[in-house]
Structure 1
Amino acid sequence: MINNDVLRSIRYMLDLGDQKLIDIARLADPAFDVDRDTVRAMLLREDEPGHVACSDEVLAHVLDGLIVHLRGREEGRPPRPVEKRISNNLVLKKLRVAFELTDADMHAIFDAAGFPVTKPELSALFRQAGHRNFRACGDQLLRNFLKGLTLRVRGGQASG
């Protein structure tokens, strides 16, 4: 899935302003720097003038910052290094951690989006890439998860 779509979904889901999105990204690494104009350009649709592609680095900072924002920082542990490559599986994992979702929560989210997933399918998404039962998370699956999570967070309203 395109990083910009994930960024837009998170912003809409949590009703975040541009500055709050920047603040969340900085929670992962205070030295990380992205300006408001760049964030606005990343939130534009691909066909709009001034659109800028959201890099894996920016999305990784936002996702890691979201974990700190929603769950707090782990005291006494050094911050985790930010991933260089972001896959749909990693987005799913980080959102699961950030929102403290159980397997039952995940199934309810997929069901709410009208995209039920079986227990084996769900567990395969969270396996290591080399595992024989690993399953890559497709764009449609991630899109439906984001839709269902938005319904859960916003209380039934999901359009963005």
Structure 2
Amino acid sequence: MISNDIIRSLRYILKTNNAGLVRLWALAEAVATPEMIDAWVRKEDDAGFQRCPDIMLSLLLNGLIYDKRGKDESAPALVTERRMTNNLVLKKLRIAFSLKTDDILAILTEQQFRVSMPEITAMMRAPDHKNYRECGDQFLRYFLRGLTARVNPKPEKKA
């Protein structure tokens, strides 16, 4: 998935606006203006669309981790990746929302996406590990949709 799609999804999950995203980038000591974000969250075929650099997505996810889990000044700063993969996005979201492998499995099962526990753990491994598995766009899309449903559950309709 391109960085822009992930940013759009995160904005929806967090129920925030451009100012909220600016705040997350600031937590990671990055500068993003509302105008930049506006160009990044547009659809690809809209006028004014700009592709978001991977490093900015990495910084946004780092800011999200700091926002959700707190920033430990004694610990080293989170690594800012220059090239983001779906696996790295999945790992950073897992950290930010304090998800265990069982939680990821439950999220995907609720979305009727069939996946096994070993497949999920293989996606969390280092790329040079023999059992490493690449996280596909469809997997990440279903995960983001499921995370949205978990973070923002729809109210039960009364009969």
TM-score normalised per structure 2: 0.94
Identity of aligned residues (%): 43
Matched residue, 1:116: 114
Amino acid at match of 2:98: E
Q: Cα distance, 1:80 vs. partner?
A: 2.4
What secondary structure sits across from 1:148 in the alignment?
helix
User: 1:116 aligns to what SS in structure 2?
Assistant: coil
Q: Work out the CA distance in 2 between the residues paired with 1:149 and 1:81.
A: 24
Give the number of equivalent residue pairs. Answer: 155
TM-score, normalisation: structure 1: 0.93
Equivalent of residue 36 in structure 2, options 29, 35, 38 = 38
* 1:56-95 → structure 2 map (5 Å cutoff): 56-95=54-93
In the alignment, structure 2 segments of 5+ residues that lack a partner are none
| 1:61–1:82 CA contact under 8 A, matched in 2 | yes
Q: Deviations over 1:32-77 (max 9, x none)?
A: 2221111001000001110010110110111000000001011312
Report the more deviating stretch, 89-98 or 108-117. Answer: 108-117
Question: Which of residues 144, 150, 153 is equivalent to 1:152?
Answer: 150
How far apart are 1:116 and its partner, in Å?
2.5
Q: Which residue number corresponds to residue 50 of structure 1?
A: 48
In the aligned structure 2, how far is the partner of 1:113 from the partner of 1:67? 24
Q: Which residue of 1 aligns with 2:18?
A: 18
Q: Secondary structure at the match of 1:33?
A: coil
How far apart, in 1, do the equivalents of 2:73 and 2:65 lie? 14
Note the C-alpha offset of 1:104: 1.4
For 1:3 and 1:122, how far apart are their aligned partners in 2? 21
Partner of 1:9: 9
User: Which ranges of structure 1 fall in alignment gaps of 5 or more residues?
Assistant: none
Counterpart of 2:27, as a letter, is L
Any idea what SS the aligned residue of 2:77 has?
Answer: coil
Give the alignment's Cα RMSD to 1 decimal.
1.1
Q: Distance in 2 between matches of 1:116 and 1:81?
A: 31
RCO greater where, 1 or 2, for CA within 8 Å and sep 6 or more? 1
Provide, for residues 62-106 of structure 1, a one-character-per-residue CA deviation record: whole Å limited to 9, x for no partner. Answer: 100000000101131232231111000000000000000011111
Q: What SS does the corresponding residue of 1:67 show, helix, strand or coil?
A: helix
